[in-house]
Amino acid sequence: MARLIQPGAARRARPKFSIGRFLWRLVLAFVKLTLLFVALASGAAAAIYYYYGRDLPDPAAIGRYRPAETSRIYARDGQTLLMELVDPLGGRRTVVPFDKIPQSLKDATVAVEDSDFYRNPGVDIRGIARALLQNYEAGEVVSGASTITMQLVRNVLLSPEERTSVTLERKLREAILAFRVSREYSKDQILALYLNEVYYGNQAYGVEAAAQAYFGKHVWELTLPEATLIAGLPQSPTRLNPLTNFEGAKERQRVTLEQMVKNGYLAPGQAEEVLRAPLTFAPQDVGIVAPHFTFYVRQLLEERYGPDLLYRGGLRVVTSIDLHWQQVAEEIVRRRIREGAPEEGYSALRDRGATNGGAVMLAPNGQIIAMVGSVDYNDASIDGQVNVTLAPRQPGSALKPVVYAAALQRGWTPATIIWDTPVQYPAGDGTVYEPRNYDDRFHGPQRLRMALANSLNIPAIRAIEFVGVDEFVELAHRMGITTLNDPTRYGLPLALGAGEVRLLDLTNVYNTIRNGGRFREPVAILKVTDARGQVLEMAGDDPGRQVLGE
């Protein structure tokens, strides 16, 4: 029996299944989903980039950045270091040009800190992904994946509060900023800034300070073993300090050398040889030379330039101190106090109750060539850290030349007769001042020159009575005394040392006399230059001013 087929039925029949067509549709769906995912991810990345990067610092600020540098004080030879002025809130730093840094130190730093440094855009995407996974698995931040550029922007451009925070937000901002900086600056510029900025422990910021702190030499003088040891320290500078944890520092050096071999900077045999090489560290207990003078100079610098420039400006200060005469003066002070000078007829001053002393030596031009502030700076029993040359003390008869100089200015001559006889001066409180000579005798008429030569007290009192206390104090100030600022507190006994003066000032008074009555300010600083070598101050040949015989 024939079967009746409706028209179009063949067209409505179910098509035959095709595996090829199915796979093609699956691929198209996957591509669409991938494109959608990429679009969403790109949109999210862009949103994150602009959200977290909207208020970041300007990358150009790195080019204007000037890191704090350590100032140094030198003796008059310009070579002998007296003191490094370490920033109380920071540490030591000396910026050096990139071409002064040895290639071995650059290679070691790149190898151990950021092996992809010269290829990445400032951010290591794979490293960040790996760090995120590690942090997620550990439940805390155990890895940061910071590139050299990221470390630099963290230290230079982020605020102190933000750079110490351990958050995903800070890491994102840091990465965005590092990306922007990498577009603005060359890799060598970034590495140069990093090597001059990063902390190496032992109060050393930057590679030059690290070279000095650990090995007592300039960075360009480092050997390969020394350079590779230093390169590994920034990972944990306090813990890896080789002076306190040598084994830890050597283990870190081993890691650095392995990375250098892996990245083609060293051959395996060379790395083993470097690791076995002995290291000689610089001694750390270095005393301050001429401590009282050095701290006096530091005080002057603070007054003139302020603490910010002094401790962060990299000043180079050449002083007037002559270390030969400084050593001679120190020895004389110690010997006079502790041993005396029997060959000159002087017994030890400590046998007469003196436990401390000081000395100042001035050149005719006023330059301080020696300043001894105490017998022993480190002896707390005598307050050795107090600079007695700057502390007001009663000078005894040492002011008598000023008394007679004032009298000579008023018309007396060296031949003027002064009577060394008993004299009394009634005081306002009903008492009587009756000066006596040191030998408790009276010597009758004395010429001025002999009264001064024999340091007689009564003639000196008569001389200041003739001159007047006010006029005497005025001349003392013109000759170099900076104290005695209230003459109403003093009377005639001022001629015998009843007022307090500084030894530095008193020495300058005698320097004025030595210079024929021409006063010059004491000079402790000969030259000051800033970190760029510009001269900020230079002592000239000051002619001074004539204060006697005008």
User: What is the predicted pLDDT for the residue at 51?
Assistant: 45
Q: What are phi and psi of 527, to 5 degrees?
A: -160, 140
User: What is the predicted pLDDT for the residue at 550?
Assistant: 67
* Pick among 3.30.450.80, 3.40.50.11310, 3.40.50.300, 1.10.3810.10: CATH of 101-276: 1.10.3810.10
* pLDDT tens per residue across all 550 residues of the chain: 445 545 554 455 555 556 767 677 777 777 767 766 665 555 555 555 454 445 566 667 677 777 888 899 999 999 999 998 887 767 888 999 999 999 999 999 999 999 999 999 888 877 766 666 665 565 555 455 689 998 888 888 877 666 666 676 677 778 888 888 888 899 999 999 999 999 898 888 899 999 999 999 999 999 999 999 999 999 988 889 998 889 899 999 999 999 999 999 999 999 999 999 999 998 876 678 899 999 999 999 988 988 888 888 899 999 999 999 999 999 999 999 988 777 777 788 888 888 899 999 999 999 999 999 999 988 888 888 889 999 899 999 999 999 999 999 999 999 999 999 999 998 877 889 999 999 999 999 999 999 999 999 999 999 999 999 999 999 999 999 999 998 788 899 999 999 999 999 999 999 999 999 999 999 999 999 998 899 999 998 888 999 998 6
Tell me the C-alpha distance between 540 and 173, whole Å: 53
What's the Rg (C-alpha) of the chain?
Answer: 39
Question: Is residue 461 within 8 Å of residue 403, measured between CB atoms?
Answer: no
The Cα diameter of the chain in Å comes to: 176
CATH number of 396-501: 3.40.710.10
Positive/negative CA dihedral, 442, 443, 448, 454: negative
User: What is the predicted pLDDT for the residue at 192?
Assistant: 95
User: What is the predicted pLDDT for the residue at 92?
Assistant: 86
* Residues whose CB falls within 8 Å of the CB of residue 422, separated by 6 or more in sequence, listed in order: 434, 442, 458
Does residue 425 sit in helix, strand or coil?
A: strand
User: What is the predicted pLDDT for the residue at 57?
Assistant: 62
- The CA angle 173-177-181, to the nearest 5 degrees, is 170
Question: To which residue do tokens 């002896």 refer?
Answer: 379
Tell me the C-alpha distance between 275 and 258, whole Å: 10
User: What is the predicted pLDDT for the residue at 40?
Assistant: 57
* CB atoms inside a 10 Å sphere around CB 473: 23
Q: Domain spans of the chain? A: 70-84+287-379+527-550, 101-276, 396-501
* Residues whose CB falls within 8 Å of the CB of residue 300, separated by 6 or more in sequence, listed in order: 524, 525
Nearest to 431 by CA among 370, 511, 502, 491: 491
Question: Is residue 246 within 8 Å of residue 278, measured between CB atoms?
Answer: no
User: What is the predicted pLDDT for the residue at 308?
Assistant: 80
User: What is the predicted pLDDT for the residue at 36?
Assistant: 65
User: What is the predicted pLDDT for the residue at 47?
Assistant: 52
User: What is the predicted pLDDT for the residue at 322?
Assistant: 97
* Residues whose CB falls within 8 Å of the CB of residue 313, separated by 6 or more in sequence, listed in order: 68, 69, 71, 305, 530, 531
Question: To which residue do tokens 């490293």 refer?
Answer: 127
Nearest to 402 by CA among 460, 357, 458: 460
Q: Which is it for strands 204-205 and 316-319: parallel, antiparallel or unpaired?
A: unpaired
* CB atoms inside a 10 Å sphere around CB 170: 16
